[in-house]
Chains A and B, each alone.
Chain A
Amino acid sequence: MKLIKALLATSVLVLAGSGAAYAQNYPERPVTLVVPFAPGGAVDMVGRFIADRLSAIWGQTIVVENIPGAGTLLATGQVSSASPDGYTLLINSATVTMRAAIQETPLVDPAEDLTHIGRIGATPLLLATSPSLGVSNYDEFAALAKERELKYATVGVGSLNQFASEILRSAADLQMTPVHYNGGSPAMTDVIGGHADLFYGSITQVIPHVREGLMTGIVVSSAERSDILPELPSVGELGLDDAVIENWWGLFGPKGMDEAIVDQINADLNTVLQTPEMAEFLQSDGARPLWGTPEEFTEQVKSEYATWRRVANEQGIRPE
């Protein structure tokens, strides 16, 4: 029985000849989308939204499976070793390039061990300070951070917050050192209470506290100003080009996926991304859709991963 199946599978592959013909049948059965975070977070919500839209296009169920743990590396590792048949996909964020960059030999190499299917969206970070610091804009903040060392709160070694803070520190020649927390909420609580000085985190996470006046918004991490916080300057317009950083989400698969399937998923993903509902959905998160070819995505992952490895080496960001 097994032999017959194997023979059948081989003959289908042979008959398919070109990948394009093979992809026409994709997907023939339910697809699993792995989310490397617990249900309820931003990545989970984006993942479920995408899964819903893609399954409508494909006429197939997409099962969303949450595998949280080890700073997304648990899920990423599992997907990278799954069969590259297009039935196991992964949504991950920029974090995947960072958590791997701080390890001497990464468990999963985000550039080499995964197929990069397509980008989904991107969102800038917002730097906010404790009111006890007494600064109200970027110039005052920078002046203070040159005068004495400030403590920035992060959600862990090798997190987005730490990399964002470190590249700003070196670009603007500031003095800052990290204090690690178990999550964004306790980190911000300590900044609000004046125990830590600042938090540089995802704009959605920080903005409610800034609006309530519990924290002071200083600068956003993108090249241009953010639509939802037009009153704050961006690091790009301050001339700190090396400090520009954005969090992004993208769709991955195991290494060695059939090119035709990748192109098909990429095309369908881009169709979803260009719908007004998608833009609206991401906007509520301070984000915008970001589409492109698989090649562009591969380029981005490679170059960012290389950058973070360099930064991690220079700044000594590693588990110790």
Chain B
Amino acid sequence: MDFVANLTLGLQTAMTLENLIYAGVGCLLGTLIGVLPGLGPLTTISMLLPFTFGLSPIGALIMLAGIYYGAAYGGSTTAILVNLPGEASSVVTTIDGHQMAKQGRAGAALAAAAIGSFVAGSLGVLVLAVFSGPIAQVAFSFGPAEYFALMFMGLIGAVSLTSGPLLKSLCMIVVGLLIGLVGMDVSSGVVRFSFGSIALWEGVDFIVISIGIFAFAEIVSTLERQKTGEAQVAPIASIMPTRQDIKRMTPAILRGSTLGSFLGILPGAGVSLASFFAYSLEKKTSKYRHELGKGAIEGVAGPESANNAAAQTSFIPTLTLGIPGSATMALMLGAMVIHNIQPGPSVVTRNPDLFWGLIVSMWIGNLFLVILNLPLIGMWVRLLRIPYSMLFPAILMFCCIGVYASSYSVLDVFMVAGLGAAGYVLAKLDCEPAPLLLGFILGPMVEEYFRRALVLSDGDFSVFVSRPISAALLAVSIAMLVFAALPKLRKARQTAFAED
């Protein structure tokens, strides 16, 4: 069995003491920040990214995986205890989770979320192992023309990351694209939009964009929304689920994991939709469907499992096609690009140890979550009670230190401040920042591959349609654009996001 060998390689990579420590530290840090009210996984991950930059690629990815799970779990914790969803996918968790918390069963809800995530993650790893083989086989037939078509499709797919109007998404992509163009152009050596500053020759740092647009803007908006200054936290009695709980959540976890695994593979909005679909599935199939909405454990276990399974399997489109399934995955993609993982089908063959190390470490990160964070829940809850007036200035300061430490550039710190203000304005205008991020990551790649393909074909544009893979991908992108623009389908998209 090929995939057993692959998983073994991944385990060997991830299971060194050093890497286990990175996973554990990442998990703790992720939860530490993620549990703070108003800070969703997206904000948390963008804040903690600089901590991984000094590490080796594998160490960094493993720590990132830990952070990812810690942050997601921290997000679920605030969703359940404070009724404050950190990102779109945990909106569903608040429905039954917070009801359970009100009934004094917050512990069981948290346990269901963590255990469900773990089971789902394990299933996701298996799905990944099975699907990566066929993907790797097409890798070498990918030349610049194919990559161009692929990245172009990713850009179009960015539209599906949001629930807002198509026009706004497209505008945000273009803004991201323009920011991505800053710096020296690979193909010509010309420096663009640097305004005479040598510090901008290398372009705008990904970390500056993510902290500015996501973290800073989010913190400012949260301060504005929450005037009370302190979150209302539901009390926790016992963390252990009862036998009845386990019996009830098991089928929900299995349903959610299966559904999520498949949705995650679909390029585009798979991850964001997984928890919604899982909740709908519970509504239709669960024996206890009448209790849903009133604090049923299925309502937490199903969506949380689906979300995690989808996150796991969405590494397939994220890494091989450059199409992340959610804003959080877009951020993870950016972080991986920094660590020299170029998205594309060859990612599996080019760095097998990195790829499999990452997959297995996602799973280990999840395991750490269960064994490390469940017992520590009391501590996390105390964090929820820190007044915002002390918390947020401290967070902003740590963000600035992180930005400065990752590039030693003072200009970057100023840019973060500027982008934070811009991000706040964008949030006010209901412009979602995820497409901007994707435009920023993929835009320059689209250009690079486009021009390279033309140099290699001696300026012959037909290269994009005469090569079958490229032609097919471009056709799919156009279809995606048309679908997104059709009014009827757009409505369906909005309903999927709004459903509760």
Interface residues of A (CB under 8 A from B): 39, 65, 67-71, 73-74, 77, 102, 107, 151, 156-158, 177, 179-182, 185-186, 189-190, 192-196, 318-320
Contact = CB atoms under 8 A, between A and B. Distances in A.
B202 interface: yes
12 contacts: A69-B198, A69-B201, A70-B184, A70-B198, A73-B198, A74-B201, A157-B189, A179-B455, A181-B186, A181-B452, A190-B143, A195-B456
Contacts of A69: 198-199, 201-202
B71 to A, nearest CB: 26
B199 A74 contact: yes
B140 A180 contact: no
A192 to B, nearest CB: 8
A320 B202 contact: no
A277 to B, nearest CB: 24
B448 interface: yes
Contacts of A182: 186, 448
Contacts of B390: none
Contact of B342 (A70, A186, A194): A186
A104 to B, nearest CB: 12
A157 B201 contact: no
B389 interface: no
Given A71-B201, A186-B342, A189-B350, 16 more contacts: A69-B201, A73-B201, A107-B198, A151-B455, A156-B184, A156-B186, A158-B189, A179-B452, A185-B340, A185-B350, A189-B346, A192-B140, A318-B189, A319-B188, A319-B189, A319-B190
Interface residues of B, number: 26
Contacts of A68: 202
Given A70-B184, A185-B340, A190-B144, A156 B189 contact: yes
B202 to A, nearest CB: 4
A157 B448 CA distance: 13
Interface in B322-337: none
Question: Would you list the 9 A-B pairs with minimal beta carbon distance, nearest first?
Answer: A157-B189, A70-B201, A319-B189, A195-B143, A319-B190, A69-B202, A193-B140, A179-B455, A180-B187
B350 to A, nearest CB: 7
A74 to B, nearest CB: 5
Given A182-B448, A186-B342, A320-B188, A193 B142 contact: yes
Contacts of A74: 198-199, 201-202
A169 B247 CA distance: 74
B204 interface: no
A193 B143 contact: yes
Contacts of A318: 189
B320 to A, nearest CB: 15
A65 B408 CA distance: 10
B191 interface: yes
B143 A180 contact: no
Contacts of B198: 69-70, 73-74, 77, 107
A102 B184 CA distance: 14
A65 B142 CA distance: 38
A182 B6 CA distance: 29
B171 to A, nearest CB: 27
Contacts of B408: 65, 67
A318 B340 CA distance: 27
Contacts of B340: 185
Contacts of B144: 190, 195
A107 B187 CA distance: 21
A190 B199 CA distance: 30
A193 B144 CA distance: 10
